[in-house]
């Protein structure tokens, strides 16, 4: 009964706040402190690492940050990520649906797909230069490529692994194949489809950084690489942190959207 | 292992004023209070009661997984649970669990001989022949020996688990709703199997269940537990003669006893339901 | 049963059905013939793996027989439609729709009711199954018993000719199960459909059935038909009556016979490969 459990739960939380929350929070803060401490110590003690910036140096670099330049770089990277990501959805999603839903499509497309999939996206960098003239397109091609495979794969999975009884029920209610897809199969496959999108988002960030490092065209990857060439390592580390933050924010964004579309799953 | 129809006098479980209080994050959970029972050697004892009433807690205390916070439990005079002792599970009281707990990476034979071989009580070849002897007596085919648990049906898994327990020659077999997930037909076969095990070895059996027909069909005595905090509210003698087979289920005496037990348990279930305990499927 | 025009008769004529699983072929049904009498509650009971679910699928139209025919009112069943609806063992409610939306789904999809009509009917059924306070909840927010009730409502709103129940109360605790059986019996009395109910619980089978069909092991057919002449409406006191015990004794005897045959079939071992099928190694 919900009321009973609510009162037991609130008792539980009260006790937790009283006795335990200090400890666990303390431990978690300690985790950061330990990490920073270990970082500082290793850099100082290990001779070989003397060029690696200390946490303090990175912090100093933060104050020195050329804010507007960095912002432009972030936007550039973001634009490339989003372009590739949405292209990935545009092309990958229908393909995933086709492969998952139609036997014929699966037999025609899937074998080739599976053959190409193991090739890491980064290995495509040289060929991307041949496909596209403009550097921007080359980079977007890569981010698209990275997003494409997880989206197709998970969309296909979500559709083909949907509980078989649900379409059967729908068949009994007289739905035709087209209605079946939109009203039953796709909603049922939503959780898996969003898993694919989350994966895709993560991969596009990895790719954009790699591609930018090899181009001369701005973006956070370029920023990190540039600072490396001028041996400004505190800014390198800072750049790394910023990339991580951007990637995390994007992932959270996708999660939010996904959670909205699959709220029926989580409510319990 | 020889047939021991008179129980050899071993396996007496004495439960005295046992109490168990949990304290998860400061919310006192009073699982058992003042539980008293004297289970005789070679007796088939069933424990029934509403969900969450502390049956499993008691079993865990007897098994040595979770100590009592008050009172004491004695096995043949030796204290096995009490606040003043440090518990350890032993091969003299073996548990057969609900979900089945065979090692999925070992074959049937590997699972069965695990206990005695690990403890150094038997060599591998001795254990294997002992296992084969038991399997033969209980009607299990030798063909299953090299199979992995993943390839067995649920009923068969239970059968293997019971043999795995038996080969260690425990004084007591503890069963926590082992047949719950089985469909009715498999359950019926498992009951016959367990009864043949019982006739063969006359071990003390401590069996927890929700299925009242199962309880009345198998037991010598049924211990009815109240809702939390659980204590034994009634002990019902099952005076149906052994050996029993499924035809017993439709006799008048059986139905009489079953209805009686049902009334007792339902009373408690209603209290539990109202107190917000929900039975989970 | 005031208007038996709506109830239908389902006939199995010498049906054979095989299942193919990886490299093994298993004959599930062979020479299976029986009649589901119009307007009655027919219960199927038998050993696990004996094809009870296959029979449900054949009547629903999700599968076709390899041999023989399945007919409804004299016409061969060739596919699923609203006339024969299933309530499954584990909930098959559409998880992304609320209770209310699930129940409305059928009539709207079939376009046999306007939105207002469907709304009204849905509300009526929600009250009938006691879920009016839960109409906007998602299936994941409902308990097992509630989910079953919602599924019953989702089927009943379409006024099917045949209701197919595939062990719908399995996995529920004893008290919920009993309540559900009562609900179900009430609904059965009120509707004009023929019901086919699959179960492995003997007590459930007897208290519900008009006709109890006991099945054999694979390859399965009907071993015996027991007519349950207990009066309707049924009530729980009947469980201790002499007639009930007679019926139960007979059913247990038959089932036990089949169970023994299965476990001692000339030393062969029943190996469960997928949890769904039990195949016996060919000799």
A125: CATH: 1.10.3720.10
Mean pLDDT to the nearest integer, C264-270:
44
Residue C251 has pLDDT above 90, yes or no: yes
Question: A225 with A253, same domain?
Answer: yes
Q: Which residue in B118, B101, B205 sits closest to B168, CA to CA?
A: B118
R_g of chain B, CA atoms, integer Å: 19
Residues A46 and A156 occupy one common structural domain: no
As a whole number, the mean pLDDT across chain C is 86
**Which residues are C59's β-sheet partners?**
none
Q: How far is CA A36 from CA A23, A33, A56, B68, C17, in A?
A: 20, 5, 9, 46, 68
Query: Of C60, C95, C139, which has the smallest distance from its Cβ to A172's Cβ?
Result: C60
A37-44: Cβ within 8 A, 24+ apart: none
Contact of C192 with C1, CB cutoff 8 Å: yes
Which are the contacts of B192, defined by CB distance < 8 A and separation ≥ 6?
A: B245, B246
Q: Does C84 touch chain A (CB under 8 A)?
A: yes
Q: How far is B263 from chain C (nearest CA, A)?
A: 13
B27 in contact with A at a CB cutoff of 8 Å?
yes
> Cβ A168–C110 below 8 Å, yes or no?
no
Distance CA B97, CA B173 (A): 11
Q: By mean pLDDT, which of A175-184, B23-32, B101-110, C191-200 is the weakest? A: B23-32
β-pairing, C10-21 with C67-72?
Answer: antiparallel
Picking from A3, A12, A20, the nearest residue to B27 by CB comes out as A12
CA distance C73 to chain A (A): 18
Contacts of C98 (CB under 8 A, 6+ apart): C135, C136, C137, C138
State which of A15, A36, A52 marks the end of a domain: A52
Q: Binning pLDDT at 50, 70 and 90, where does residue A86 land?
A: very high
- Cβ distance of B188 and C259 shorter than 8 Å: yes
| Whether residues A31 and A97 fall in one domain | no
Nearest CA in chain B to C275: B153
What is the value of pTM for the model shown? 0.81
pLDDT at C248: 94
Q: Which distant-in-sequence residues (6+ apart) come within 8 Å of A8 by Cβ?
A: B27
Cα angle at B51 between B46 and B54, to 5 degrees? 65
Q: Is the peptide bond before C219 cis (omega within 30 degrees of 0)?
A: yes
Query: Do A179 and A209 belong to one domain?
Result: yes
Flag whether pLDDT at A220 surpasses 50: yes
Q: In which residue ranges of chain B is pLDDT below 70?
A: 1-8, 24-26, 100, 275-281
- Smallest Cα–Cα separation from C205: which of C226, C176, C232, C220? C226
How far is the C-alpha of A200 from the C-alpha of A207, rounded, in Å?
Answer: 11
Return phi, psi of residue C208, to 5°.
Answer: -90, -35
The domain total for chain A is 2
Is A35 in the same domain as A86? Answer: no
Beta-carbon contacts of residue B270 (< 8 Å; ≥ 6 apart):
none
Decide if pLDDT at A27 tops 80: yes
Of C256, C271, C273, the CB nearest to B246: C256
Compute the distance between CA of residue B132 and CA of residue B108 in angstroms, rounded to an integer: 11
Q: Which of A71-75, A127-131, B237-241, C35-39 has the lowest mean pLDDT?
A: A127-131
CB contact under 8 A, A175 and C97: no
Task: Classify burial at B135, counting beta carbons within 10 Å of its beta carbon; exposed 0-12, middle 13-18, buried 19 or more.
Answer: buried
Give the separation between CA A146 and CA A201, rounded to whole angstroms: 9
Q: Is A261 part of the contact surface with chain B (CB cutoff 8 Å)?
A: no
Chain A touched by C102 (CB under 8 Å):
no
Q: CA of A264, closest CA in chain C: separation in Å?
A: 5
* Phi, psi dihedrals of residue C229, rounded to the nearest 5°: -95, 25
The C-alpha atoms of residue C257 and residue C252 are separated, in whole angstroms, by 8
DSSP annotation of A17: I
By C-alpha distance, the chain C residue nearest B189 is: C259
Residue of C nearest to A180 (CA): C109
Look-up of token digits 């719908």: C168
**B120 close contact with A: CB closer than 8 A:** no
- Sign of the alpha-carbon dihedral angle for A169, A175, A179, A183: negative
> Which structural domain range is residue A189 located in?
58-267
Same domain, A178 and A252: yes
Q: Which two tokens stand for residue A87?
A: 């292209």
Helix and strand totals (H; E) in chain A: 13, 0
> Shortest CB distance from C140 goes to which of A179, A183, A267?
A267
Q: Where are the beta strands (DSSP E) in chain B?
A: 13-22, 29-39, 44-48, 70-75, 78-81, 93-96, 172-176, 204-208, 221-225, 232-237
Selection from A219, A224, A217 nearest residue A239 by Cα: A224
Nearest CA in chain C to A191: C96
- Which range among A177-181, B36-40, B253-257, C201-205 shows the weakest confidence by mean pLDDT? A177-181
Contact A15 B27 (CB under 8 A): yes
C89-148: pLDDT as tens digits: 888 999 999 999 999 999 999 999 999 999 999 999 999 888 999 999 999 999 888 999
Sorting pLDDT into bands at 50, 70 and 90, what band is A122? confident
Alpha carbons B240 and B258: distance in angstroms, whole number: 12
Taking the CA of residue B32 and the nearest CA in chain A, the distance in Å comes to 19
Q: Considering only alpha carbons, which residue of chain C is nearest residue A189? A: C96
CB of C62 less than 8 A from some CB of A: yes
What confidence score (pLDDT) does residue A21 get? Answer: 63
Q: pLDDT grade, residue A222 (50/70/90)?
A: very high
Q: Which percentage of chain A shows pLDDT scores above 70?
A: 92
Q: Report CB contact under 8 Å: C81, A184.
A: no
Contact C141 A268 (CB under 8 A): yes
ipTM reported for the complex, 2 dp = 0.81
Tokens for A220, please give them.
């956070």
Do both A238 and A131 map to the same domain?
yes
For residue A1, which residues of chain C lie inside 8 Å, CB to CB? Answer: none
Q: pLDDT tens digits, residue range A32-46?
A: 999 999 998 888 888
Question: How far is residue B257's CA from residue B213's CA, in Å, rounded to a whole number?
Answer: 10
| Cβ-based contacts of B151 with chain C (< 8 Å) | 271-273
DSSP label at residue C282: P
Of A46-50, A207-211, B16-20, C14-18, minimum mean pLDDT range? A46-50
Residue contacts between A and B (CB atoms, under 8 Å)? 21
CB atoms within 10 A of CB B278: 16
Residues A38 and A125 in one domain: no
In chain A, what residues touch C110 (CB-CB under 8 Å)?
173-174
Give yes or no for residue C62 having a pLDDT over 50: yes
Question: What's the pLDDT tens digit per position in A50-62?
Answer: 788 888 888 888 8
* H or E stretch at A261: helix A233-261
Neighbours of A111 (CB within 10 A): 9
| Binding-face residues of C in 108-127 toward A, CB within 8 A | 109-110
pLDDT level of residue A83 (50, 70, 90 thresholds): very high
What is the percent of chain C where pLDDT is above 70? 90
- Kindly list the partner chains of chain A, i.e. chains with 3 or more CB atom pairs below 8 Å: B, C
What is the pLDDT confidence band of residue C283, given thresholds at 50, 70 and 90?
very low
Which residues on chain C are in Cβ contact (under 8 Å) with A175?
109
Same domain, A86 and A47: no
| C172–B247 C-beta distance less than 8 A | no
Q: Which of A165, A168, A267 sits opposite C138 (nearest CB)?
A: A267
Q: Are residues A6 and A77 in the same domain?
A: no
Q: Which of A140-149, B82-91, C207-216 has the lowest mean pLDDT?
A: B82-91
Q: Chains that contact C by 3+ CB pairs under 8 Å?
A: A, B
Q: State whether A38 and A137 are in the same domain.
A: no
**Partner residue opposite A12 with nearest CB, options B25, B275, B276:** B25
CA-based nearest residue in chain C for residue A266:
C140
Which positions in chain B touch C47 (Cβ < 8 Å)?
A: 185
Q: Where are the alpha helices (DSSP H) in C32-114?
A: 52-60, 99-110
Neighbours of chain B (3+ CB pairs under 8 A): A, C
Q: Which residue in the set C84, C88, C109 is minimally distant from A165, CB to CB?
A: C88
Q: Select from A13, A32, A52 the last residue of a domain.
A: A52
Query: Which chain A residue is nearest to residue B23, measuring alpha carbons?
Result: A12
Query: How far is B56 from B228, CA to CA, in rounded Å?
Result: 12
Q: DSSP string spanning A150-199?
A: HHHHHHHHHHHTS-THHHHHHHHTT--HHHIIIIIIHHHHHHHHHHHHHH
Q: What is the DSSP letter of B142?
A: G
Virtual torsion, Cα A183, A184, A187, A192, nearest 10 deg: -150
Phi then psi dihedrals of residue B192, to 5 deg:
-60, -40
Euclidean distance between CA atoms B183 and C199, whole angstroms: 9
Q: What is chain C's Cα-based Rg?
A: 19
pLDDT band at C265 (very low <50, low <70, confident <90, very high): low
Cβ of B247 under 8 Å from any chain A Cβ?
Answer: no
**Chain A CA closest to residue C87:** A169
Distance CA C138, CA A266 (A): 10
| Residue to test with chain B: of C173, C215, C238, C275, most B Cβ within 10 A | C173
Same domain (yes/no): A152, A38:
no
With vertex at residue C85, the alpha carbon angle to CA C81 and CA C86, rounded to the nearest 5 degrees, is: 135
The closest CB to that of C240, out of B188, B259, B269, belongs to B259
């Amino acid at each position: 009964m919900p009321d009973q459990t609510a009162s037991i739960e609130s008792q539980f939380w009260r006790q937790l706040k009283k006795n335990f929350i200090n400890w666990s929070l303390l431990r978690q803060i300690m985790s950061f402190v330990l990490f920073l401490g270990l970082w500082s110590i290793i850099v100082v003690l290990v001779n070989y690492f003397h060029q690696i910036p200390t946490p303090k140096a990175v912090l100093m670099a933060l104050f020195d940050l050329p804010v507007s330049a960095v912002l432009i770089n972030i936007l550039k990277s973001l634009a490339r990520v989003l372009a590739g990501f949405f292209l990935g959805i545009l092309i990958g999603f229908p393909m995933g649906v086709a492969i998952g839903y139609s036997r014929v499509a699966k037999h025609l497309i899937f074998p080739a797909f599976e053959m190409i999939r193991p090739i890491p996206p980064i290995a495509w960098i040289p060929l991307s230069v041949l496909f596209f003239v403009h550097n921007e397109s080359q980079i977007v091609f890569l981010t698209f490529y990275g997003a494409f495979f997880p989206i197709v794969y998970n969309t296909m999975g979500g559709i083909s692994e949907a509980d078989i009884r649900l379409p059967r029920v729908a068949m009994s209610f007289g739905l035709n194949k087209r209605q079946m897809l939109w009203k039953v199969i796709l909603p049922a496959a939503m959780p898996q489809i969003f898993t694919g999108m989350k994966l895709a988002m993560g991969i596009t960030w990895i790719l954009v950084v790699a591609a930018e490092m090899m181009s001369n065209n701005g973006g956070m990857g370029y920023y990190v690489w540039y600072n490396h060439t001028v041996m400004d390592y505190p800014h390198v580390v800072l750049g790394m942190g910023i990339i991580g933050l951007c990637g995390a924010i994007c992932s959270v964004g996708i999660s939010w959207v996904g959670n909205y579309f699959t709220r029926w799953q989580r409510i319990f | 292992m020889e047939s021991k129809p008179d129980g050899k006098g071993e396996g007496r479980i004495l439960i005295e004023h046992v109490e168990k209080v949990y304290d998860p994050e400061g919310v006192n959970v009073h699982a058992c209070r003042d539980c008293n029972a004297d289970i005789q050697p070679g007796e088939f004892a069933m424990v029934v009661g509403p969900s969450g009433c502390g049956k499993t807690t008691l079993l865990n205390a007897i098994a040595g997984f979770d100590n009592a916070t008050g009172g004491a439990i004695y096995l043949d005079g030796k204290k096995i649970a009490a606040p003043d002792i440090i518990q350890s599970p032993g091969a003299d009281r073996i548990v057969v669990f609900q979900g089945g707990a065979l090692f999925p990476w070992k074959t049937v034979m590997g699972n069965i001989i695990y206990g005695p071989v690990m403890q150094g009580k038997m060599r591998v070849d001795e254990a294997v022949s002992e296992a084969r002897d038991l399997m033969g007596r209980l009607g299990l085919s030798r063909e299953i020996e090299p199979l992995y648990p993943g390839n067995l049906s649920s009923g068969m898994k239970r059968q293997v688990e019971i043999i795995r327990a038996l080969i260690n020659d425990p004084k007591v077999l503890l069963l926590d709703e082992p047949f719950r997930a089985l469909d009715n037909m498999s359950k019926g076969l498992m009951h016959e199997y367990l009864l043949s095990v019982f006739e063969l070895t006359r071990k003390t059996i401590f069996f927890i269940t929700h299925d009242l027909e199962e309880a009345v069909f198998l037991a010598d005595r049924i211990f009815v537990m109240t809702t939390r905090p659980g204590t034994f509210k009634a002990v019902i003698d099952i005076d149906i003669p052994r050996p029993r087979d499924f035809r017993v289920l439709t006799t008048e005496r059986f139905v009489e006893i079953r209805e009686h037990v049902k009334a007792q348990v339902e009373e408690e279930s209603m209290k539990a339901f109202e107190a917000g305990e929900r039975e989970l499927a | 049963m005031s208007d038996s025009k709506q109830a239908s008769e389902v006939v199995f004529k010498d049906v054979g059905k095989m299942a193919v699983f990886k490299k093994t072929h298993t004959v599930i049904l062979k020479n299976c013939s029986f009649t589901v009498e119009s307007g009655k509650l027919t219960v199927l009971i038998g050993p696990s793996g004996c094809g009870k679910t296959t029979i449900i699928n054949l009547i629903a139209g999700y599968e076709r027989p390899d041999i023989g025919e399945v007919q409804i009112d004299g016409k061969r069943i060739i596919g699923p439609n609203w006339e024969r609806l299933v309530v499954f063992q584990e909930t098959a409610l559409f998880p992304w729709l609320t209770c209310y939306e699930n129940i409305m789904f059928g009539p709207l999809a079939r376009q046999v009711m306007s939105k207002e009509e469907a709304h009204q009917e849905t509300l009526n059924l929600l009250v009938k199954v006691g879920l009016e306070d839960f109409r906007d909840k998602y299936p994941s927010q409902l308990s097992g018993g509630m989910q079953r009730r919602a599924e019953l409502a989702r089927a009943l709103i379409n006024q099917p000719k045949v209701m197919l129940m595939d062990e719908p109360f399995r996995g529920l605790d004893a008290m919920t199960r009993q309540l559900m059986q009562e609900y179900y019996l009430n609904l059965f009395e009120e509707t004009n459909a023929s019901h086919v109910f699959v179960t492995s619980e003997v007590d459930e089978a007897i208290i519900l059935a008009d006709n109890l069909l006991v099945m054999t092991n694979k390859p399965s057919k009907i071993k015996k038909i027991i007519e349950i002449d207990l009066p309707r409406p049924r009530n729980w006191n009947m469980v201790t009556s002499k007639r009930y015990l007679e019926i139960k004794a007979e059913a247990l005897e038959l089932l036990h016979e089949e169970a023994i045959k299965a476990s001692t079939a000339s030393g062969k071992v029943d190996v469960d490969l997928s949890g769904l099928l039990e195949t016996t190694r060919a000799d």
